[in-house]
Structure 1
């Protein structure tokens, strides 16, 4: 869509992810767009779960979720800055996952056998520590899958990352990989049990999001995987059939 074909009152801005210096384009903004609605879109565009997003404009004051572009004087061609909540090293974790830095992630509390600690983790009991690691592993998997870092995603899954974990908006790592066309990550996640037809809080599945974002290869990859799995299941005999075959073989001998 060209600038001349945009709806009236629509304009573009840019977004800078401070932890990685990545730049993203937001071409279809409007004055009445709320920051809460924007964050939902940014979760897919930037691969940063909504609850870690701190949005700022012109200064270092966080923008309120219920405020609009007009409330914050965000204008055409402006640059919004996204920062990650820094507590407990989340900014470092997100940056490492975005770069596919597996070695660094291994020292940031994303594996079940993590021996290190942080000031926050030190006050946690065993079960709370387990949940702490699981959450960090999922966030790292979500970001790495969005960026297409299949080796990092493989490392995280081998060390206990849950392929079914979701962001507050109900999105899994598969949703993130699908909207960005990361087919190698899609194959990996599906092979580890990810479900292509699980809806997020807006009712969108990984397949429907791939279609909305114009990622035809993502959609085909998921459809082919589902077809292969169904074909394999149809070929394999059921347990009752297997037992009947064994009994028949026994009588024959």
Structure 2
């Protein structure tokens, strides 16, 4: 009998170890899930919406038409699809109203639903497509490539012969607004990707409506236009560190102080994302414009300038 007990004691599988954690309130599902995620890197079998998912987790977003992959790091289970689109407005450079998201075989994800509702797991891949209606997909893809020749034929300039099944029925004012919106979207995407030649073309040739006049236009894409999130082309150029595009946009009247729906200006956005060169470039442009006619020594003695400089953490501004 004692021999049998000794044999059982020598076999680790025969009885539980005294060190094995017992189930109880101290082992919360979230804490256990974090440990499982680190160890295995994948959810347990048969669980698509794990309760053990960490409070913030990454998902990957694949832009189907180009094969580009974007990583959204701070997702939550209660995050809505609309909130994810708002992140991608900046991260992928695609205005949120043109985005169509899908996960696995669930079809189009509705804006008010959550990631939990769609069983999105940490590290999962969400597909991003651009809405095909009215030729938006072709326009965005041409802007992603940065090809002015393609953009020219896709309805971004006044006098363009480009029409879609929908735009053929537009009255003159509607058509002008539509062309101006297409020029802005192309400028936004091109600025995000850093295609200087395309940005230059759109700023010089792209159609934009005059303020307060829906029936007139001037030959310039609107660098002050905004996405549904209130972001301008300078916002995305600053976020991505596109210095050449930043300089060009500023020279055409882009503003460093316009705030998006989250209260971020291009300048504060560059600071948050640690785009030091972008921040410095916009900072100096802003102060040179503000202090026009004053020499550098006067500028450096300005108390407001010194306060702003200290906030930027720039040690030397003289070049």
Per the normalisation by structure 2, the TM-score is: 0.69
Instruction: Report 1 or 2 for greater relative contact order, CA contacts < 8 Å, sequence distance ≥ 6.
Output: 1
Give matches, 1:139-158, under 5 Å: 139-158=185-204
**Does 2:150 align with 1:104?**
yes
> 1 CA distance for matches of 2:190 and 2:63?
15
Please name the residue that 2:257 is paired with.
197
Which deviations, in whole Å up to 9, do the C-alpha atoms of 1:199-241 show, x marking residues without a partner? 1122111111111122111111100111222232447xxxxxx
Structure label with greater radius of gyration:
2
**Does 2:167 align with 1:167?**
no
Task: After the TM superposition, list the runs of 4 or more consecutive aligned residues in structure 1 that deviate by more than 3 angstroms.
Answer: none
Please name the residue that 1:188 is paired with.
248
> 2 CA distance for matches of 1:126 and 1:8?
53
Aligned-residue RMSD, C-alpha = 1.7
> 1 CA distance for matches of 2:74 and 2:262?
20
How many residues are paired up?
231
Please name the residue that 2:3 is paired with.
none
Per the normalisation by structure 1, the TM-score is: 0.87
Please name the residue that 1:87 is paired with.
133
Which deviations, in whole Å up to 9, do the C-alpha atoms of 1:152-193 show, x marking residues without a partner? 011001012111111111111011111000111111111000
Give the Å deviation of 1:28: 2.5
Structure 1: 5+ residue stretches without partners: 236-253
Give the Å deviation of 1:60: 5.8
Please name the residue that 1:122 is paired with.
168
More helix by share: 1
> 2 CA distance for matches of 1:10 and 1:204?
22
Structure 2: 5+ residue stretches without partners: 1-36, 39-52, 206-219, 296-319
